Amino acid sequence: MSVDEHALGELMEQSADLQAAAMHQSTEALNEMVEVGHDRRRSGDIDPDQDMAAAARRQELMRKSLVGVGTLAAAGFGAAVLGLFDTPAFADSATDVQMLQTAASIEILAVATYQTALTLPFIGGSSANPVVKAFATTTMAQHTQHGQAFNAAAQQLGGKAQSAADPKYAAVVKAAVPSIKGPADVVGLAIKLETVAAETYVADVSAYSDLNARKVTASIMGVEAQHVSILLAVQALLAANAPQLIALPPNLTDLPGAAGSIGFPNAFYQTDMASPASEGALS
């Protein structure tokens, strides 16, 4: 394994510094959101019509995202998603808060999943690839911060903090865990969760009525997409029986040509797997 663990440690330290700077920016956005939330509550300016409009916007966007996916998808998962948007209970609630709570629930599940994965010998133990282990550890920490940011945003808009994992995908993880036999299984599961997170946030960004909720979510969606990107590359190298190439820095000369584009399959990020606002929202 061509990994300089000391150098990797230094890189992680630099990454932590950069992350702290990014957190500062996010905190500023959250503080702005706090002020907006306070103002709205003080003035009683939480407008049900505005929330209805936001729900309608998001429903419209989701309908568009389903166009072209195909009749089968529209009649299955897509129809279920649109059905949720049509319920009066959903439309009467603060949609921004719901989206933030659902986002927090996805982050909570991601943290729990990586935490569990790190207890496995081939992810967090002595037989683990150091880069994979470092990635899982750092990514778990980043998801923790994302969850905190979403919950803070929800609370400051008058909602409650979400402390439970997304129920739909918690069931998916629970069902998948017994069949995990090696790193590829974990990576495949992580790709699914990260994709759901990224696509949900991409869809949410154009549906928020609150500008700062939009900004906070936008600052997170690309990071989840980066997680997907690296996981796709790792998955491809594992599938190609070339785990020795999962290294930092990589041995560029040995990487297959196709590895150069495996991490960004689409010119435009998709939203087919976006979760509806109510999926992880508190009632």
Partner 1 sequence: MRILRKNTDQMAISETELLALTADMEERHRQTLPKMHAAVAEWVEGEGAAERSRVSRRGFLAGGGIVVVGGALLAACGSSSTKSATMPSGGGSSAPVDVQAGAMAASLENLAVFAYGAGISAATAGKLGTIPPAVVTFATTAKSQHQDHANAWNAIVTGAGYQKVTTTDPALISTVQTDFAQVKDAGGLAKLALTLEDIAAATYLNAIGVLSSKQAISTAATIQPVEMQHAAILNFVLGTYPVPNAFAMTTGARPVTDYSVKK
CA-to-CA dists, residue 158 to 175, 183, 231, angstroms: 35, 41, 36
Name the token pair of 166.
């997304």
Give the CA count within 13 Å in the CB-facing half-sphere of 88. Answer: 0
Which range, of 43-51, 98-106, 158-166, 217-225, touches partner 1 by CB under 8 A?
217-225
Q: Do residues 162 and 108 touch, judged by C-beta distance below 8 A?
A: yes
Considering only residues 5-44, where is the footprint of partner 1 by CB under 8 A?
7-8, 11-12, 14-15, 18-19, 21-23, 25-26
Considering only residues 107-136, where is the footprint of partner 1 by CB under 8 A?
134-135
Which 3-state string (H, E, C) describes 92-133? Answer: HCCHHHHHHHHHHHHHHHHHHHHHHHCCCCCCCCCCCCHHHH
Contact status: 176 vs partner 1 (CB under 8 A):
no
Out of 196, 221, 274, 281, the only residue in the binding site for partner 1 (CB under 8 A) is 221
**Shortest separation between residue 221's beta carbon and partner 1, angstroms:** 6
Residues binding partner 1: what is the number (CB under 8 A)?
A: 79
Angular region, 4: left φ>0, alpha ψ -120 to 50, beta rest: beta
52 SS3 class: helix
Name the token pair of 180.
């995990």
**Shortest separation between residue 92's beta carbon and partner 1, angstroms:** 22
Name the token pair of 165.
């994992």
Q: For residues 118 and 177, which CB has a smaller minimum distance to partner 1 in the complex?
A: 118
**Shortest separation between residue 103's beta carbon and partner 1, angstroms:** 13
Out of 108, 149, 153, 187, the only residue in the binding site for partner 1 (CB under 8 A) is 149
Q: For residues 175 and 267, which CB has a smaller minimum distance to partner 1 in the complex?
A: 267
- Does the bond joining 249 to the residue before it have cis omega, within 30 degrees of 0? yes
Q: For residues 14 and 127, which CB has a smaller minimum distance to partner 1 in the complex?
A: 14
Contact status: 142 vs partner 1 (CB under 8 A):
yes
Considering only residues 239-278, where is the footprint of partner 1 by CB under 8 A?
239-242, 248-250, 252-271
Contact status: 138 vs partner 1 (CB under 8 A):
yes
Considering only residues 46-85, where is the footprint of partner 1 by CB under 8 A?
57, 61, 64-65, 67-68
